[in-house]
Amino acid sequence: MNKILQIKDLRVSFDTYAGEVKAVRGISFDIHEGEVLAIVGESGCGKSVTAQTIMKLNPMPPARIAHGDILLGEHDIVRASEKEMMKIRGKEVSMIFQDPMTCLNPTMQVGKQLTEAIRHHQKLSKEEANKEAIRLLETVNIPNAKQRARQYPHEFSGGMRQRVMIAMALSSSPKLLIADEPTTALDVTIQAQIMDLLLEIKQKTNTAIILITHDLGVVASVADRVAVMYAGKIVETGTAKNIFYHPSHPYTRALLKSLPDTDMDRSIRLVSIPGTPPDLLNPPAGCGFASRCSNCMKICQTDLPPEFIIDGGHVAACWLHYENCPAELEGVKN
């Protein structure tokens, strides 16, 4: 399989009023053709920043790529000029956002917003672009596409708008689609429809998808691989199976424990993770999770844990996997 995207030791900072906020603190991952990679983590962990940095959508300044490489096919994103980015965005990689209610321009007809994207990357006449827009609306299952194209976004429901966003993102058959919490703002029943649509598209076009979410339920049903982010770092990566059945980082484990389960004994209370994530204005010297981790050791507070290979592609950044770690603590983790 072809590698579509490679990210190496990416660091993104925001220069704010109070100082430098290190939102992403050195993350690396790859994604292959036709693969769904889920990035999970709680709000503020840097997952959306990562996604937007791939397309250089964050306003710079205040955002700044402090270090690292982003290779999208043969394009070097970090060094690409704004002009080159204009050719990459929408064509090589597109994005759909969390809130479909605010992502469409309220004063422009939906069809127009689609043809605008189409004509930017393809040399088509107005009529051809129009036809293409209607075809795209049909592929995302919007009924009466012809009439719908002439309507304004407020005449669409939330789910319908997200379909329009997907149609727009697909208009130039990108190799990579980034979906930043595509279902968070939608009703549960609509969520499933949108996820099914995304999967259907992936199968048809072999587009790779980066799915950003904090909803582990969604991840379990669609993701091939999962990356768990905490405090600007990826703490664990692996296949969906690895993550769900053999979680190897205490944060992943805590996250899974906080998930309600249908066959769970009613008498067991949901487990929450005590404490709050560290302030990324002054990130801690050691592991970001140390202060909330029940397995925390001395070394965790002072040294950043390196990545330990658990099994094949399953990697966790946690000192518990160091060979010198006492056995009784290894016991705790199981």
Partner 1 sequence: MDRIEKGRFEWVGANVSESEGITRPSTSYWRDAMKRLFKNKIAVFCLFAIVLISILAVIIPIVSPYTISEQHLTHTNISMGFKDPVDGHIHLFGTDTLGRDIFTRVWSGARTSLFISFTAVFINVIIGIIYGGISGYIGGMLDNIMMRIIEIINGIPYLIIVILLMMVLPAGVMTMVIAYAAVGWTGMARLVRGQIMALKQQDYVVAAKVMGADTKRIIFKHLIPNTLSIIIVNITLAIPSAIFTEAFLSFIGLGVPLPHASWGTLANDGVKVFQIYPSQLIIPALYISITMLSFNLLGDGLRDAFDPKLRR
Partner 2 sequence: MVKYVGKRLLYAFLTLLVLVALTFFMMRLLPGDPFLGEKVVPETTLKALNEKYGLDKPMIVQLAMYVKNIFKGDLGLSMYYNRSINDIIAQAFPYSFDLGIRSLIFAAITGILLGVVAAVKRGTKWDTAAMLLAVIGVSVPSFIIGALLQYFLGLKLFELTGIKFFPITGWNTALSKILPSFALSFSSLATVSRLMRTSMLDTLGQDYIKTAKSKGLSQKKIIIKHAVRNAIMPVITVLGPIAASVLTGAFVVENIFSIPGMGKFFVISIQNRDYTMISGITLFYGVFLVAANLIVDLLYGFIDPRVKLVEGKE
**Cα four-point dihedral sign 52, 166, 193, 151:** positive
- Asked if the bond preceding 284 is cis, omega within 30° of 0, the reply is no
Residues 205/18, Cβ–Cβ less than 8 Å: no
Rounded alpha-carbon distances, angstroms, from residue 250 to 212, 230, 295 = 21, 11, 8
Binding to partner 2, residues 160-189 (CB under 8 A): 165, 168-169
Residue 244 sits in the site that holds partner 2 (CB under 8 A): no
Binding track over 10-49 against partner 1, x by CB under 8 A: ------xxx--x----------------------------
Among 193, 205, 206, 291, binds partner 1 (CB under 8 A): 291
The residue (of 74 and 323) whose beta carbon lies closer to partner 1 is 323
| Helix, strand or coil, per DSSP, at residue 292 | helix
Least distance (Å) from partner 1 to the CB of residue 332?
A: 8
Residues 78/65, Cβ–Cβ less than 8 Å: yes
Write the burial class of residue 17 (CB in 10 Å: 0-12 exposed, 13-18 middle, 19+ buried).
exposed
Residue 104 sits in the site that holds partner 2 (CB under 8 A): yes
326, interface contact from partner 1, partner 2, none, CB < 5-8 Å by kind: partner 1
Residues 62/49, Cβ–Cβ less than 8 Å: no
Among 221, 306, 309, 313, binds partner 1 (CB under 8 A): 306
Least distance (Å) from partner 2 to the CB of residue 84?
A: 10
Residue 147 sits in the site that holds partner 2 (CB under 8 A): no
β-pairing, 36-40 vs 225-230, is: parallel
Rounded CA gap, 203 and 98, in Å? Answer: 23
Residues of the shown chain interacting with partner 1 in the complex, contacts defined by CB under 8 A: 16-18, 21, 274-279, 281-282, 284, 291-302, 306, 319, 322, 324-326, 329
Residues of the shown chain interacting with partner 2 in the complex, contacts defined by CB under 8 A: 52, 55, 57, 82, 85-91, 94-95, 97, 99, 102-108, 116-117, 120-121, 152, 154-155, 165, 168-169
